[in-house]
Amino acid sequence: METGETKWIWRVLGGLVLAILGLVIIVYPGLSLLLFVTIFGMFLIIAGIFEIAFGVTGAETGLLKGLFLVQGIFSIIIGILALILPGMTLLMATYLVAAWAFIWGIMEIVAVLTASEERSTSLYGEKVKVGKGMGVLVGFLAIALGLMTLAWPGVTLAIVTILVGWMVLVIGILIAIGGYEIKGPLFPHETS
């Protein structure tokens, strides 16, 4: 049974494991991405197997059975492709994000410029000109992100992976520090 005196160690250990994981992601971003795609591919294959099993045994109607079978087969095919072609999977995901950012940015600019005063001020600021200006800026930033991602997909993936690594590292350190705070001070003050 865990006592209050030992709870801190689990937070410290968990934080240290996260910090180490963050360092690994930072030092080996390519390997980290490959591992992510591998896990994603395995997840899709396993999900596809269960979807097919449910389609065969648990679906109520013929239409539902067919939908679950098609869904399962599709999941398995995409999962196998992710495992066989991990680089292509990452590249396709990057292009989808780029397309989304580009299209979203254009739509945001159009929406902000054609929106009523209430919408513009509620989203981006109290003053109409400032609000619309901020909305247009956000739209242009999204377009720029989309174009940069299209131009340099590999660099974009590496930067995002390294940023995630730093985030995991910092969270791990903060959790470990929190564990030490639960324990109490490392060097208690002597009272004289």
Q: Are 136 and 112 in contact, with CB atoms under 8 Å apart?
A: yes
How far apart (Å, rounded) are the C-alpha atoms in residues 21 and 173? 11
Q: Are 26 and 169 in contact, with CB atoms under 8 Å apart?
A: yes
Beta strands in 61-186 (DSSP E): none
In a domain, 137, yes or no: yes
pLDDT of residue 133: 82
In a domain, 190, yes or no: no
How far apart (Å, rounded) are the C-alpha atoms in residues 131 and 136? 9
- pTM for the model stands at 0.63
3-state SS assignment for residue 188 = coil
In a domain, 1, yes or no: no
pLDDT of residue 170: 93
pLDDT values of the chain reduced to their tens digit, one per residue, 192 residues: 455 567 788 888 999 999 999 999 999 998 999 998 999 999 999 999 999 998 888 777 888 888 989 999 999 999 999 999 999 999 998 999 899 999 999 998 888 888 766 655 555 555 556 667 888 898 999 999 999 999 999 898 889 889 989 999 999 998 888 887 777 665 566 555
In a domain, 120, yes or no: yes
How far apart (Å, rounded) are the C-alpha atoms in residues 148 and 31? 23
How far apart (Å, rounded) are the C-alpha atoms in residues 121 and 115? 10
In a domain, 26, yes or no: yes
In a domain, 192, yes or no: no
In a domain, 188, yes or no: no
Domain, as residue range, for 136: 7-183
Q: What type of residue is 26?
A: I
In a domain, 189, yes or no: no
What is the number of other CB atoms lying within 10 angstroms of the CB of residue 39?
11
pLDDT of residue 180: 77
pLDDT of residue 2: 53
Measured over the CA atoms of residue 126, residue 127, residue 128 and residue 134, the dihedral's sign is: negative
How many angstroms from the chain centroid is the CA of residue 152? 19
Q: Are 99 and 119 in contact, with CB atoms under 8 Å apart?
A: no
Q: How many structural domains is the chain composed of? A: 1
Extract the tokens encoding 12.
């410290």
